A = this chain, B = another copy of it.
């Protein structure tokens, strides 16, 4: 079964917001065995929306539409869907009761503008929006299904989870789609391709499709296959994966949505050991990555973010003379920082990072992007210097990943 996603809203076309909805929807549809053929973003314009609907129905059986369902005048999706199907808006009592109930919960009364939310195209089945006032809408015409949802992510997600996906699973016998992603680090895309060339040939593209997904810090390899028998798919992919692992074992650090902070967390939880941080240029970002993981309090104690000489002395016990002699971005300072973190936070493992994130602050000897990282683990301290040198945001992110990877390697080798 093929689906298409149409997102409606000028805010996407002028770049004011990034369309994160489509990726989430595509993931959920894939899990349900539905391929997404195309994602199209169009403007809040009647003619354009009508054309996009017509083009999508010619390619796909299921068309999911988000956006343009708010109560304000620039939201024209509902009226345009009426035009598309040649129907009228009618007032729906059930939807209205839900709007009233939502307002009552927040102690507000329904305004005439909000009352309009209860008007829906007469040919649609309303889908309950537990998180907001604009209902989802389900249309069927000539064996094609059209589903319209609000663009607010948590409202759309709630309607997808509780209404759309269960209905699709009931209505259709769907094939299985299997994705398997292997994460590699420390090898470039081309070198990787050269190394696994024969293995890639053996996949047979009509059988298992391979994709390379490079990002600044890793290359992901994704195998995709589909069919009616999930066990068969799993076996075929597993067999290929085992062969792949033999070829590039030293570069593989995880699979699927694994990330360094979770891998580290799992090791620390098992060993009942604690982690602490001393951050300068990463400014709390490593701590944020670690604390995004639910349950991290099992192994994470905290971070001391020191953004000045004074705080490095005060909170981590870095010596003034070390700062003055070597500068904050130096082997000597991160070494004292990491020992300070071990001592002050009383943890088994610690990371310290100090660098020049930019855009200013660079010197000929220490240009923007220079980052010193120290990791203390099992009585050993390792210090390493990196030169990243892109934008401030990139430097922060890449430094965090490099630091976590240093810790991961020390953990698995100890």
Task: Write the residues of chain A forming the contact surface with B, with a CB cutoff of 8 angstroms.
Answer: 9-20, 22-28, 30, 35-44, 48, 52, 55, 70-75, 111, 113-114, 152, 154, 179, 181, 189-191, 193-194, 200, 209-216, 220, 222, 224, 277, 279, 282-288, 290-292, 294-297, 300-308, 310-311, 314-315, 344-346, 357-360, 390, 392-394, 396
Contact = CB atoms under 8 A, between A and B. Distances in A.
15 contacts: A9-B211, A10-B211, A11-B213, A11-B222, A15-B26, A17-B213, A39-B41, A71-B190, A154-B390, A282-B291, A297-B307, A300-B307, A303-B303, A304-B305, A305-B305
B10 A224 contact: yes
B214 A152 contact: yes
Contacts of A211: 9-11, 44, 74
State the main secondary structure of chain A at its contact with B.
mixed
Given A22-B41, A38-B52, 9 more contacts: A11-B211, A13-B26, A15-B26, A16-B23, A113-B193, A277-B305, A284-B305, A291-B307, A305-B305
A368 B37 CA distance: 38
Given A71-B193, A283-B287, A43 B39 contact: no
A347 to B, nearest CB: 10
A291 B288 CA distance: 12
Nearest to A35: B13
Copies of this chain, how many? 2
Given A285-B284, A308-B297, A390-B154, A37 B30 contact: no
Contact of A283 (B26, B291, B306, B359): B291
A264 to B, nearest CB: 15
Contacts of A360: 294-295
Closest 4 CB pairs of A and B: A283-B291, A284-B287, A284-B284, A15-B26
Nearest to A3: B13
Contacts of A72: 189-190, 193, 212
Among A300, A307, A346, which residue has the most Cβ atoms of chain B within 10 A?
A307
Contacts of A212: 70, 72, 74-75
Nearest to A400: B288
A16 B287 contact: no
Contacts of A296: 283, 307
Contact of A191 (B11, B44, B111): B111
Contact of A209 (B74, B113, B181, B302): B74
Nearest to A347: B311
Nearest to A359: B294
A103 to B, nearest CB: 10
B40 A38 contact: yes
A209 to B, nearest CB: 7
A95 to B, nearest CB: 15
A283 to B, nearest CB: 3
